[in-house]
Amino acid sequence: MRILITGGQGMLARTLASKLASLQQHVLATPARTELDITNAHQVSAYFARFQPEVVLHCAAFTKVDQCEDDPAIADAVNNHGSANVASACQQTGARLIAFSTDYVFDGKKDGPYSEFDKAGGAINVYGRSKWAGECAIRLNCPNHVIARVSWLYGPGGPSFVHTMLKLHEKGMPRLRVVNDQKGNPTSTLAVADAVCELLARPDIKGTIHLTCEGETTWYDFAKAIFAEAGLKQEVDPVSSAEYVTKARRPANSCLAKTRLGMAGLSPMPKWQDALAAFLKQELPVLQQK
């Protein structure tokens, strides 16, 4: 297949490109923002006309959650209008669209994990609202779509929470303060890439699907697991969201259930602990060489 991956320099896009290139079955295009600015509808149409993708993996996004609070117009331009431009181009050219969204489209008030059938749209920060608007634009402009929600992503090269924790340890920080009242599903981009390969082989699957790793934890327990798996001694103190104030509010619960994954007969996502172990086994030697 001819596959276009938007946001080609991002962490998820890089992992997807690496995985798909290793299969040696596809023709890939992974343009950076300087080559494909999704906020420019004319540029998007022209790029589609040149490359003629059969499938688009839409990874391009403004994902700096706190910065979105300062630049809501940019968040909306990229995450909402940019997604609309990509979706419209897919509809016009007949390309299948697989777009990536976020757990932050939910308000975090539910007791259990959110399924694909739960009502979204109650985001409590600018990032989540802009991504929800992008989801709506995709549904409106391109019926042949999959919206894959992911969360707490980490992957080769970063940036991610995992990389931040390891860097702070390397700097010799004696104690780290990490929030312990927000829970979610830490998810490896390597696991997402495996799931996407299955989606590519299933053109019958459409709509919204959750692709987060199985199991839930807090940022605090996630941090402790990172250091334990890496074999590092690091003191970590749990704090509340009220004690660790950020510009953007985060949902207390952003856990996602993989209901449609099972319904579609796709492989289950790995447990987050197993995915973390597999990732660190690959990534730690790379980081140690730098």
Known catalytic residues?
A: 127
* Amino acid symbol at 74: I
Residue 125: burial class (beta carbons within 10 Å; 0-12, 13-18, 19+): buried
Cis peptide before 72 (omega within 30 of 0): no
Residue 268: burial class (beta carbons within 10 Å; 0-12, 13-18, 19+): exposed
Six token digits for residue 210: 């959750």
d(CA 259, CA 257): 6
d(CA 12, CA 281): 18
Tokens 């009242």 belong to: 181
Six token digits for residue 139: 């549904």
d(CA 199, CA 205): 7
Is residue 193 within 8 Å of residue 57, measured between CB atoms? no
d(CA 263, CA 260): 5
Using the CB atoms, write b or e for 177-198: b if 16+ within 10 Å.
Answer: ebbbbbbbbbbbbbbbbbbbee
Is residue 39 within 8 Å of residue 82, measured between CB atoms? yes
Pairing of strands 96-102, 55-58: parallel
